[in-house]
Structure 1
Amino acid sequence: MQITILNAEMTYSKEDGYVGKVQFEAEGHSNQYEITLASKRGTRDWGYGLFFLHESGKEEELLALEDQLEEDDELFDLLVDTAKAKLEK
């Protein structure tokens, strides 16, 4: 799946751990997305939430993308790495 990154950010604190988000477009999808990422265990074991970025869209596209993220480690890692690259030092 081809994605285009629109924006990314990540912060770290002892209290919250790593918290980030990536805004992106997915090829063939009619809406843009935002994935929020969180990990309290270093940079592993990420929890995430996937949302439409601006307005609601087709639920089947969101669910298909979520399935893709669960199955495609490279795609998920790309989003995590993009957010980590923006980590405030």
Structure 2
Amino acid sequence: MIEIIKASMEHSKEDGYVGHVEFTVKGHSFPYEITLHSKRNKDWSYALNFKKESGKEEDILAVEEMLEEDEYFDKLVEAAQNTL
């Protein structure tokens, strides 16, 4: 359902872990970007946005719901962590 386009993550003592993942969702018109943040590489916070142009609000709300399921959120975190 989620296809990862690009992922990255950086770590610094000041900011902790900051990751970015670009991805698409099957059936959605526009790609998304999620920014991930964690001080200790667990208990992640995130910001979800459309990558380039804005799509429908109901699409981004549906992705927010998907991310509440650990399977999808963990896949995005793992993709970013794998780039360290």
TM-score in terms of structure 2 length: 0.97
Gaps of 5+ in 2: none
Name the amino acid aligned to 2:36.
L
1:33 is displaced (CA, Å) by: 0.1
1:24 is displaced (CA, Å) by: 0.4
1:43 is displaced (CA, Å) by: 1.4
1:68 is displaced (CA, Å) by: 1.1
The SS at the match of 2:73 is helix
Name the amino acid aligned to 1:81.
E
Equivalent residue number for residue 49 of structure 1:
47
Q: Percent identical across equivalent pairs?
A: 57
After TM superposition, the runs of 4+ consecutive aligned structure 1 residues lying more than 3 A away are none
Equivalent residue number for residue 80 of structure 1:
77
Q: Please list, as runs of the form range in 1=range in 2, the aligned pairs for 1:7-86 lying within 5 A after superposition.
A: 7-40=6-39, 42-70=40-68, 72-86=69-83
The SS at the match of 2:59 is helix
What per-residue deviation string (whole Å, max 9, x for no partner) do you get for residues 34-57 of structure 1? 0000001x2110000000001011
The SS at the match of 2:58 is helix
RMSD: 0.6
1:67 is displaced (CA, Å) by: 1.1
Gaps of 5+ in 1: none
